[in-house]
C-alpha cells in the first residue's frame, strides 16, 4: 500500500527546453580528451598513482545508463527500473542524462588504448544504474510524475542494499515548491547508516533566486556546486547553506547513447565529478565512514573562499589526491558513527532554517509536495562529433 503524496517537479535538468546544435566538429582522436579540463583541474593524475577506483561501485540514480556505450562497456552492472514505462533503448529520450553522468564518473574511453572518448574520474569503478526519473522529452514523463512519486526514495534504499559504496544524485527539486520529503530523507539516512556516501547536485537556481534543492539539502549529503575552468562560481549554481564542495560544471564533455558527444553545463556534472572523487578515496581507504569522507573532502579542498567557506563554493574545489593522502592518517570508523542519521531537523511542512544574512534567496520554503525529484544539468548542448538528424540537443531540462 502506498502512502498518499503530492508530486514534485520531475526533471532531468534546470533550463529551458530549447537547445542549439552548433555545426558538427569533425572527430579527431584527441578532440574529446583535450576538452576534458575537469580531470586536470582535480589533479586526477596524482590520485591515479594510488587508485583508479577499482573495487568501488557507484550507483547512478537517474534516467538510466547505456551499458553498451563504448566508453562504459564492461563497467555497468545490472540495474533496476523504478519507473517501468517510458522510452526504451533506441528511443531519442532514453538514458541520456544518466549515461552522461556515468561517463563523468567511470568512463574508460574507447579505441586504441582507450585514447578516444570520455575518460571518467574513476575509470575502474563500476556503475550501478537505477532509473528513477524520465527525460523531459519523454512523452510518459507526466504519467511518471503522477504515479512514481517514491521512485527516488526506493532507488536510494535499493542501491544501499545492493552494495553501492557511493550514490550519485545528479538531480534535485529546486522549483518554487521545493520542500524536504520525509520518505526521501529517511532513505538518505538509511544509506548513510549502511556506510554509503551520498552525493547530490546543489541545484541550478543561482540566477533564479537560489532556491534550496532536495536531496542536496538533506543532512549527511555531500552537496556540490559548480565552477568553471578558472575556478569561478557558475552563475546558475545555487548558493545555499548546504554547499559542501565545488567541482567542474561548465563546458563539460559528456557521452550520449547516440554515440555523439556533447558539451553541458550544470551542477549535475559537478555532482558526478565528486562522486568519482569519493570513489577514489573509498578505493584507497575502504574502511572510512561517509562522515569521515565528507570531512576529508572539506578539509582538503583547494581554493577555499575567504573565511574558509561560503554558500557558493562550500569549502572549495574538491581534491581527491589530497583527500587520499590525508586519509592515511585516519583510523577507520564505524560506518554509522557520525553519519547524520538523525535526519532533517526542521519542520517538513513549514519554514526551513533561517538563511544567512548575506543570502538573497527566499526565506520560506513553500510546503506540500513529495516524490521524485528532477535532475540538475543546465543549459546548452553542443555536438562535438557529427550532429544527429533531427537532434534537439541533450534533453531532460525543466
Catalytic residue among 170, 201, 268, 271: 268
**Is 285 among the residues known to form the active site?**
no
Which residues lie closer than 8 Å to 31 by C-beta, 6 or more apart?
25, 384
Cα distances from 396 to residues 19, 133, 230, 266, in angstroms, run 11, 10, 27, 12
Catalytic residue among 69, 97, 233, 313: 97
Whether 198 and 220 have beta carbons less than 8 Å apart is answered as: yes
H helix runs in the chain, sequence order: 37-41, 44-47, 96-106, 141-147, 151-161, 182-193, 267-284, 290-300, 320-327
**Is 62 among the residues known to form the active site?**
yes
**Is 5 among the residues known to form the active site?**
no
- If one counts every other C-beta atom within 10 angstroms of the C-beta of residue 92, the result is 16
d(CA 160, CA 248): 27
User: What is the distance between the terminal CA atoms of the chain, rounded to a whole angstrom?
Assistant: 30
**Residues in the chain, how many?**
398
Whether 260 and 390 have beta carbons less than 8 Å apart is answered as: no
- If one counts every other C-beta atom within 10 angstroms of the C-beta of residue 140, the result is 17
d(CA 108, CA 74): 10
Whether 257 and 95 have beta carbons less than 8 Å apart is answered as: yes
Catalytically active residues, by annotation:
62, 97, 268
Amino acid at each position: 500500500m502506498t502512502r498518499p503524496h503530492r508530486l514534485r517537479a520531475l526533471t532531468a535538468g534546470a533550463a529551458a527546453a530549447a537547445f542549439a546544435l552548433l555545426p558538427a566538429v569533425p572527430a579527431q582522436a584527441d578532440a574529446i580528451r583535450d576538452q576534458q579540463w575537469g580531470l586536470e583541474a582535480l589533479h586526477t593524475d596524482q590520485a591515479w598513482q594510488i587508485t583508479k577506483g577499482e573495487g568501488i561501485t557507484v550507483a547512478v540514480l537517474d534516467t538510466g545508463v547505456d551499458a553498451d556505450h563504448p566508453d562504459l562497456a564492461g563497467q555497468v552492472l545490472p540495474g533496476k527500473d523504478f519507473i517501468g514505462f517510458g522510452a526504451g533503448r533506441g528511443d531519442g529520450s532514453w538514458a541520456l542524462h544518466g549515461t552522461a553522468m556515468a561517463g563523468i564518473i567511470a568512463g574508460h574511453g574507447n579505441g586504441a588504448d582507450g585514447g578516444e572518448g570520455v575518460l571518467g574520474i574513476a575509470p575502474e569503478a563500476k556503475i550501478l544504474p537505477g532509473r528513477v526519473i524520465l527525460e523531459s522529452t519523454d512523452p510518459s514523463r507526466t504519467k511518471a510524475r503522477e504515479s512514481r512519486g517514491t521512485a527516488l526514495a526506493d532507488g536510494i534504499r535499493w542501491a544501499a542494499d545492493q552494495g553501492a559504496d557511493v550514490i550519485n544524485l545528479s538531480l534535485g527539486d529546486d522549483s518554487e515548491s521545493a520542500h524536504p520529503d520525509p520518505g526521501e530523507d529517511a532513505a538518505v539516512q538509511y544509506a548513510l547508516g549502511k556506510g554509503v556516501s551520498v552525493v547530490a547536485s546543489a541545484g541550478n537556481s543561482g540566477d533564479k533566486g537560489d532556491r534550496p534543492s532536495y536531496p542536496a539539502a538533506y543532512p549527511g549529503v555531500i552537496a556540490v556546486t559548480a565552477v568553471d575552468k578558472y575556478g569561478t562560481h557558475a552563475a546558475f549554481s545555487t548558493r545555499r547553506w548546504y554547499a559542501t564542495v565545488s567541482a567542474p560544471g561548465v563546458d563539460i564533455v559528456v557521452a550520449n547513447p547516440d554515440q555523439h558527444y556533447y558539451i553541458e553545463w550544470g551542477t549535475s556534472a559537478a555532482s558526478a565529478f565528486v562522486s568519482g572523487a569519493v570513489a577514489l578515496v573509498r578505493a584507497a581507504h575502504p574502511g572510512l565512514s561517509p562522515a569521515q569522507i565528507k570531512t576529508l573532502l572539506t578539509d582538503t579542498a583547494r581554493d577555499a573562499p575567504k573565511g574558509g567557506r561560503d554558500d557558493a563554493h562550500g569549502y572549495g574545489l574538491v581534491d581527491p589526491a589530497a583527500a587520499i593522502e590525508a586519509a592515511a592518517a585516519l583510523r577507520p570508523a564505524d560506518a554509522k558513527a557520525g553519519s547524520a542519521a538523525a535526519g532533517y531537523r526542521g519542520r517538513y511542512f513549514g519554514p526551513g532554517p533561517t538563511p544567512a544574512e548575506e543570502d538573497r534567496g527566499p526565506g520560506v520554503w513553500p510546503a506540500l509536495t513529495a516524490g521524485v525529484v528532477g535532475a540538475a544539468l543546465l543549459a546548452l548542448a553542443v555536438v562535438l562529433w557529427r550532429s544527429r538528424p533531427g537532434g534537439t540537443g541533450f534533453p531532460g531540462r525543466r
